[in-house]
């Protein structure tokens, strides 16, 4: 199996809806989890900029 074929297989698996994920794809769930995680973290730029207001 070539690297390209492996990449295509991974993409296909990650873009296949799953019953256990509420018919969302693993890629969708991953993106949602990452967005939630980054929303919980303070933005270092905000804290820095707030010092100069």
Span 4-51, pLDDT tens digits: 999 999 999 999 999 999 999 999 999 999 888 877 766 666 665 555
CA distance 28 to 25: 5
Q: For position 46, what pLDDT does the model report?
A: 65
Nearest in space to 31 (alpha carbons), one of 10, 7, 15, 8: 15
Q: Would you tell me the crossing angle of helices 3-14 and 26-40 to the nearest 10 degrees?
A: 80
Domain layout of the chain by residue ranges = 3-50
Are 24 and 18 a contacting pair, CB within 8 Å? yes
Nearest in space to 14 (alpha carbons), one of 30, 1, 37: 30
Q: For position 2, what pLDDT does the model report?
A: 98
Q: For position 53, what pLDDT does the model report?
A: 52
Q: For position 47, what pLDDT does the model report?
A: 61
């Amino acid at each position: 199996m070539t690297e390209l074929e492996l990449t295509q297989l991974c993409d296909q698996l990650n873009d296949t809806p799953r019953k256990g994920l509420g018919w969302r794809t693993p890629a969708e769930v991953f993106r949602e989890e990452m967005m939630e995680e980054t929303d919980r973290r303070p933005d270092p730029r905000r804290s820095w900029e707030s010092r100069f207001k």
